[in-house]
Amino acid sequence: MQKKIASYFKSS
Amino acid sequence: MFEAKFEDGGLFKKIVEAIKELVKNVNLEANGTGISLQAMDTSHVALVALQLNEKGFKKYRCEKSLTMGLSIENLQKILKCSGNDDQITLRTQDEEPTTLSFTFESKNRISEFQLNLMSLDQEQLGVPDTEYSSVVRMPSNEFTKICRELGNINEAIGIETSKEGIKFYVKGDIGEGQVSVKINDTEKPEERVECEVDEPVNLSFAVRYFNLFNKASALSSQVILSMSQDQPLVIEYIIEEMGSLKLYLAPKIND
């Protein structure tokens, strides 16, 4: 399953 | 008032060439320290981050921080009007610019273009400074070749690091394969392979993003892969004297 990048980096 | 002059305009063209398949509309941020860009790809699986330091420009002025929303596709159309050896100057007068001016200078001609800007309310992601447990430096054309070749066998590529080096592997319907790149300390820096492995990793990624991003190998003969288990991988192309272009790619997790 492909993870999304935003699940690792919080939006600032 | 913002002005940034690339001594080597071809470099700017290569940067745009490297990201044009990944990101559509981006906010170009300019401030006293330089120019930066951060944007997710359309599927939000990857993040492109560009950092160009003001010291790397032939001329650089930015009195007030600026955000310039632009379409990469339209930026490319303007850049296609420049030569690879041109000096390229980006300029805008206003504090809230609606257009970005471009000057292309070569020995025998000078061209002026204006690109219409747009307002993009894009979320900016906070990328934490991370100590990566595996950092591999290798020739960029070698990495490009491996991704392209293994990408023909399977759309997901595995990367395993160890003290001995880095192994790329694929397991597809047609079969499987692996490529182990050995460490070497050749005196030719562009051919060197170095691995710093505090903790080995074994991660899987969609290779299509590597193949899209690897156009950036025109920017640098070496590529740096930084990895930690279950974290996004970072592909970094150092832009000599100017900064770097990075791709953060989220891993594929086995269900």
Interface ipTM: 0.94
Interface test with B, best of A9, A10, A11, A12 (most B CBs within 10 A): A9
Give the DSSP H/E element, type plus range, for residue B145: helix B140-151
Per residue in B127-176, pLDDT (tens digit) is 988 999 999 999 999 999 999 999 999 999 999 999 889 999 999 999 99
What is the nearest CA distance from B139 to chain A, expressed in angstroms? Answer: 26
Which range among B76-85, B118-127, B231-240 shows the weakest confidence by mean pLDDT? B118-127
Cα distance between residue B10 and residue B6, in whole Å = 9
Task: Provide the token pair at B222.
Answer: 């070496």
Per residue in B66-94, pLDDT (tens digit) is 999 999 999 999 999 999 999 999 999 98
Among residues B210, B238, B254, the alpha carbon closest in space to that of B11 is found at: B238
Mean pLDDT of B19-40: 96
Cα distance between residue B210 and residue B83, in whole Å = 27
Percentage above 90 pLDDT, chain B: 91
Give the model's pLDDT for residue B123. Answer: 84
Interface test with B, best of A2, A10, A12 (most B CBs within 10 A): A2
Residue B230 burial class via C-beta count within 10 angstroms: exposed 0-12, middle 13-18, buried 19 and up: exposed
Give the model's pLDDT for residue B31. Answer: 96
Among A2, A10, A11, the residue with its CB nearest the CB of B45 is: A2
Question: Which residue's entry shows tokens 């060439």?
Answer: B17
Mean pLDDT, chain B, integer: 95
Q: Is the pLDDT of residue B55 over 70?
A: yes
Cross-chain Cβ contact A9/B248 below 8 Å: yes
Give the model's pLDDT for residue B232. Answer: 97
Q: Is the pLDDT of residue B191 over 80?
A: yes
Which chain B residues are within 8 Å of A8, Cβ to Cβ?
A: 231-232, 248, 250
Task: Provide the token pair at B142.
Answer: 């070698």
Percentage above 70 pLDDT, chain B: 100
Interface test with A, best of B22, B48, B127 (most A CBs within 10 A): B127
Give the model's pLDDT for residue B150. Answer: 97
Which chain A residues are within 8 Å of B124, Cβ to Cβ?
A: 11-12
Cross-chain Cβ contact A12/B125 below 8 Å: yes
Binding-face residues of A in 1-12 toward B, CB within 8 A: 1-12
Cross-chain Cβ contact A9/B123 below 8 Å: no
Among B40, B127, B252, the residue with its CB nearest the CB of A1 is: B252
* Single-letter amino acid, residue A11: S
Give the model's pLDDT for residue B122. Answer: 85
Residue B41 burial class via C-beta count within 10 angstroms: exposed 0-12, middle 13-18, buried 19 and up: buried
Q: Is the pLDDT of residue B30 over 90?
A: yes
